[in-house]
């Protein structure tokens, strides 16, 4: 069975550092991609990218409550922003190394933002403050199903990787993010956009293997949604 490394968040629980990845990612890798999920911790001294890449056949960069530190794209941090700079120290070099090594990569939500920053792009820290943009944040005070429920449509770029995987030109996705792509990294290509023009998915045409980043959460009830199934099945097919 092929092995997929799933990036963990580093958080503090009862005064102790813990590494975590939501079960939805693990189930989607196991059942959707047909691969063995292996959790990759973000440690104080980052694990070596070469050692990690030697242990897995592909990587899934997960979403998280934390944001990529703005210092990585030359900006100052906004007050109240939750950061995870220990994770940044693992993921940003690992993304670049994985692409160079030709490992398949699926990047979701924070992982999507990490991908853009790792390759030289920048982020809007508060998309909802930009004139003409939707409020892409998750609703508060609702059930988990409603939180991850359909939020807005996306237009899928004709002829792109996402269109090839799914056969779709439009879909409806969930939305649980505050940050979003501002300046797109030079080597990335837009695969989908929200009605307000916010970039929702990217690929890298010059990558040696599968590389897809999506801003939404396809792992949530992945089997019930054709677009989500196509993403995980496509990822699994190239491992």
User: Any idea which residues carry the catalytic annotation?
Assistant: 109, 217, 219
Closest CA to 88 of 42, 121, 40: 42
Closest CA to 227 of 238, 237, 216: 216
- CA 137 → CA 52, 71, 134, 239, distances in Å? 33, 23, 9, 32
How far is it, in rounded angstroms, from Cα 94 to Cα 118? 9
How far is it, in rounded angstroms, from Cα 124 to Cα 115? 14
- Decide: 55 and 71 in contact? Cβ < 8 Å: no
How far is it, in rounded angstroms, from Cα 104 to Cα 57? 7
Strands (E), 64-188: 105-108, 123-124, 152-156, 170-173, 180-181
Residue 64 burial by CB count (10 A; 0-12/13-18/19+): exposed, middle or buried? buried
Cα angle: 182, vertex 93, 117; to 5 degrees: 0
């Amino acid at each position: 069975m092929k092995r997929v490394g799933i990036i963990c968040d580093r958080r503090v629980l009862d005064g102790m550092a813990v590494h975590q990845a939501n079960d939805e990612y693990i189930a989607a890798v196991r059942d959707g991609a047909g691969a063995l999920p292996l959790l990759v911790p973000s440690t104080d001294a980052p694990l070596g990218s070469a050692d990690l890449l030697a242990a897995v056949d592909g990587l899934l960069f997960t979403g998280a409550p934390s944001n990529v530190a703005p210092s990585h794209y030359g900006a100052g941090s906004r007050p109240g922003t939750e950061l995870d700079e220990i994770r940044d120290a693992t993921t940003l070099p690992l993304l670049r190394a994985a692409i160079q090594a030709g490992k398949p990569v699926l990047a979701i939500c924070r992982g999507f933002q990490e991908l853009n920053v790792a390759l030289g792009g920048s982020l809007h820290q508060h998309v909802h403050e930009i004139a003409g943009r939707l409020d892409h944040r998750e609703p508060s005070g609702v059930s988990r199903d409603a939180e991850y429920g359909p939020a807005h449509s996306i237009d899928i770029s004709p002829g792109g990787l996402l269109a090839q995987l799914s056969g779709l030109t439009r879909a409806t996705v969930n939305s649980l993010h505050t940050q979003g792509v501002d300046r797109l990294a030079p080597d990335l290509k837009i695969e989908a956009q929200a009605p307000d023009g916010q970039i929702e998915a990217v690929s890298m045409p010059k990558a040696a293997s599968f590389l897809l980043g999506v801003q939404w959460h396809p792992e949530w009830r992945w089997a019930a949604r054709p677009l989500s199934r196509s993403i995980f099945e496509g990822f699994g097919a190239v491992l």
